[in-house]
Amino acid sequence: MTGPFSQPLVYFFGQGRADGTATMKEILGGKGAGLAEMTSLGIPVPPGFTISSALCQVYLESRQLPKRLRDETERALHRLEAATDRQFGSREQPLLVSVRSGAAVSMPGMMETILNLGLNDETVEGLAALSGNPGFAWDSYRRFVTMYGVVVFDLPKREFESRLERARDAAGVSRDIDLPVAAMQGLVREYKALIEAQCRRPFPDDPMEQLWGAVAAVFESWNTQRAIDYRRHHDIPDALGTAVNVVAMVFGNLGEDSGTGVAFTRDPSTGEPRLYGEYLLNAQGEDVVSGARTPHPIADLREQMPAAYLELERTARVLERHFRDVQDMEFTIERGKLYMLQTRRGQRSGPAAVRIACDMVDEGLISEEEALSASRIPPDDLNQLLQPIFDPEAKRHAKVIAKGINAGPGAACGRIKFFADEAEEYVRQHGKGVILVRRETSPEDIRGMQAADGILTAFGGASSHAALVSRQMGKVCVVGCSALQIDYEKRTVTVGDLTLKDGDFISLDGFTGEVMLGQVATKPSEVVQVLIQKTLKPSESKVYQQYEKLMSWADKARGDFRIRTNADKPDQAAQALAFGAEGIGLCRTEHM
């Protein structure tokens, strides 16, 4: 048999063994390969299975799932039931799963996820009895019907959110998890009625029907416009497709002894070697990455759940040493026990990439040659070291109006725009000069984020969608700026007594998280100050010292290869020589 069906279509992992490995990203996707590898390393991972990405294009062309996939999936489900001592569709011992996308190249937030699949009016009662917590069971059911309605039935998320907001107001609570059980039961009924009214078919109660609907929807999400735009921007081939990961649920929303979070093995903004991230108690993973709630810094977990924090710290060390690179990890804590749900190469800023590469050479994790590779430090990342920073004197006199979480380093000034399409249009007409201001960003904002010089959000943390994507794009980003009151209808943002409107200027400091009124003057980077302006001593700049170390390795690696510059004027030649050029390669007299 040839083609995508010559290999297994489903790969199981669980109980310390896995059918796949970290080298199988093109088949398992990055998420599936990471889950398989962590399982083999003995790291606590909930069991599950991955459906091969080879099926993605097959499904998109035929809109059918082959019978062999159904057979292999049913066998994998039986293995999953044995591993968890639960049964899919059982009222007494219900097995619930998450269904998540995962391409070979990470595309954060671009494709779909469904949690708590397998719930219906009977299994929710079983979950309530097993957990002893009916509120948790109905909260999980409410979340599942919302996700399924948005992902599979393609209904607008706001249809569900508006009903949830009315329920919170009626109950007099601010958090979803504080809703009475009766209110959550009412929401589930409302959501199902909404789906049936708008889609002309009922919400599926059969868990197997739910599963196949979710698998098809994840494959479909490969071809959403936002996913296509993201692939174009990052030169990701359309033919890769996405795998589908079906994993036994572990619950971070069981109470205050449970939670969920995202952590990096080093600071992705600065490169500092410390566990960095954030978490929410009594929450599920989408609450953290969506930016809908602003989470706590990961350091607080040491006090709240010391045993889980120590296990996370140990796991971070194991994964970073195993993969020899910074890891971006997702985790859930269920009643005090840590489970790892994902590990992948951590996106990082340019300054962080340089520091991490230098530190890892010093630590013996990688060689000098590896540090110089484009996979470690892409040319655009190195270029970030040369970008302007705020002039300290100008910043001293600037009016700081708010402060959030620094998620993407640098200095950015621009006019406020509240909508992605308007930001894109302004930049198309004027070339640059926009700060995209949002309550939180979503994958639909991707083109506006690409156009903007800086991104500012009222909600979310350093692992929210806005933060992850801005770091990948090299954008200045400040998130979780809770002082902002944004009114999309009026196109205004209010901080205390100050109200700014669409088109007003603000400045963002991505190193400190400060938001300043107006346009704050910038000055050259520390590298330029040392090499060109001579206003800063090398010993006074750690950024320059790391840059110089990297360049010395590059000089060794290039051997007899000589670098010359194109220059038409004396100042251009002087600049090039300061950066290491050894002569003039081209001088055009018509430009002199």
DSSP assignments along 548-581, one per residue: HHHHHHHHHHHTT----EE-SSHHHHHHHHHTT-
pLDDT > 50? residue 2: no
Cα distances (angstroms) measured from residue 198 to each of 61, 192, 202, 217? 27, 10, 10, 18
CATH classification of 259-345 is 3.40.1000.10, yes or no?
Answer: no
pLDDT of amino acid 45 = 98
Are 106 and 145 contacting, i.e. CB atoms less than 8 angstroms apart?
Answer: no
Per-residue pLDDT tens over the stretch 418-446: 999 999 999 999 988 999 999 988 888 88
**For the whole model, what pTM was predicted?**
0.82
Pick from 433, 479, 473, 484: nearest CA to 457: 479
Give residues with Cβ within 8 angstroms of 33, minimum separation 6: 20, 21, 22, 23, 24, 25
What pLDDT score does 290 carry? 62
Mean pLDDT estimate for the chain: 92
For 389-523, CATH gives 3.50.30.10
pLDDT in tens, 163-180: 999 999 999 998 888 999
Are 513 and 506 contacting, i.e. CB atoms less than 8 angstroms apart? no
Distance of CA 569 to the CA centre of its chain: 44
What is the DSSP code (8-state) at residue 221? G
| pLDDT score, position 153 | 95
Q: What is the rounded average pLDDT of the residues 448-460? A: 92
What's the token pair of residue 320?
């970073």
Cα 120 from chain centre:
30
Tell whether the model's pLDDT for residue 198 goes beyond 70: yes
Residue 564: other Cβ atoms inside 10 A? 12
CA dihedral of 82, 86, 90, 96, whole degrees rounded to 10: -110
Would you state the pLDDT for residue 511? 84
Q: What pLDDT is attached to residue 340? A: 98
Question: Are the C-beta atoms of residues 119 and 141 closer than 8 Å to each other?
Answer: yes
- Inter-helix orientation angle 207-220/134-151, to 10°: 50
Report percent pLDDT > 70 for the chain: 98
Give pLDDT, residue 408: 82
Phi, psi (degrees; rounded to nearest 5) at 297: -65, 145
What are the extents of the domains in the chain? 60-65+80-246, 259-345, 350-374, 389-523, 526-591
- The single-letter code of the amino acid at 97 is V
Residue type present at position 253: N
Q: Which tokens sit at 403?
A: 């402060």
Q: What is the CATH class of 60-65+80-246?
A: mainly alpha
**pLDDT-derived band at 328, boundaries 50, 70, 90:** very high
Nearest to 154 by CA among 223, 55, 56: 223
Model confidence at 1: pLDDT above 70: no
Distance CA 332, CA 336 (A): 9
* 253, 261 Cβ separation under 8 angstroms: no
Tokens of 208: 């197997």
The first and second tokens of residue 99, run together, are: 């269904």
Q: Are 511 and 478 in contact (CB under 8 A)?
A: no
Closest listed residue to residue 454, CA positions, set 478, 472, 431: 478
The pair of structure tokens assigned to 284 is: 């599920």
pLDDT of residue 567: 83
Which pLDDT tens digit goes with each residue over 264-279?
A: 999 988 899 999 999 9
The Cα–Cα gap between 565 and 556 comes to 19
The CA-based angle 447-451-457, given to 5 degrees, is: 80
* Two domains, one topology: 60-65+80-246 and 259-345: no
DSSP 233: H
